[in-house]
Amino acid sequence: MTSPRLSIQIPPTSFTKISFPAAHVLLITLSRPSSLNCINSAGHRELDAIWNWLDAEPSLRVGVITGEGRAFCAGADLKEWNSTNFTSELRRTEPSEPSGGFGGLSRRSGKKPIIAAVNGICFGGGCEMIINADMVIASPAATFALPEVKRGVIALAGGLTRLVRTVGRQRAMEMALTGRVIGAEQAREWGLCNAVVEAGEDVVQRALEMASLVADNSPDSVIISREGLKMGWDGCGVEEGTERLEKEWFTCMEGGENMKEGIRAFVEKRKPQWIDSKL
């Protein structure tokens, strides 16, 4: 598909590939296959800038992230970490990760949904990224692990506290304290991913199909529905969350063009023609 008409310039990239495979959908491919798509300090900042751009660019509604080669992301660049562990002024003066966390995603709040298409190895920070993704589609060859305890470090990018909410205390303890690898089907059973594709099926294509289903809906409704779910994810109570959603978000879309168009299209029995969100 040809590139959409963008209002904001695409951020420069060195470690990722950007494409637009479907209407309103952004595809990000981690592209350090020889390093199993491990992310270094510059890569964190690059991805954080991309996700901020996704949220700001009106023509885009959903992001998809995957990896090139046999890994989704094997975690941090330990060679860089080792070389800077004791001597670099950078580690004392500049955070190695942006506010969005590992890959700009593991602690991201953001405005628009991101779907992870896990094509292979998903370890450490890579696993922390998908724990905080909005949806996860996995290849049958995908493997997941938090092996930090085997390296004398910890998963400090937000994954631990989020993991226990997703899979439960005992399963989270098993993953984080043993560092063992779990397969795609077990990850699906535990709730780490939405679906595992069939052998031979393209995991990125399945994720893009899911992204298109999202992009076909009102962009305002998607953003605000996601905000409501995030409140629950972050521990907000039902009554407080509902009140905040109505006061802080629903009033922004009530009477807006997309709400009017959706109701009008239903009455006229046609597909709605959404405009880009102004939220």
pTM above 0.75, yes or no: yes
- Residue where the block lists tokens 């077990």: 186
Query: Strand, coil or helix: what is 226?
Result: helix
pLDDT of residue 82: 65
Q: For the segment 264-273, what is each residue's pLDDT rounded down to a tens digit?
A: 999 999 999 9
Hey, which residues are catalytic here? 76, 125, 128, 148
Q: Report pLDDT digits (tens) over 155-169.
A: 999 999 999 999 999
Using DSSP, state whether 146 is helix, strand or coil. Answer: coil
- Please tell me the distance from the alpha carbon of residue 257 to that of residue 275, in angstroms, as a whole number: 8
Residue 77 has a pLDDT of 82
Which pLDDT does position 225 carry in this prediction? 94
Q: What is the pLDDT of residue 56?
A: 97
In DSSP terms, which residues pair with 135 in a beta bridge? 115
pLDDT in tens, 41-97: 999 999 999 999 999 999 999 999 999 999 999 998 877 766 666 555 544 444 567
Residues of the chain with pLDDT under 50: 90-94
Other beta carbons within 10 Å of 61: 26
Q: CA Rg, the chain, in Å?
A: 19
Q: What integer pLDDT is reported at residue 199 of this predicted model?
A: 95
* Residue-level pLDDT at 207: 98
Phi and psi, residue 234, nearest 5° = -90, 10
For 57, the 3-state DSSP assignment is: coil
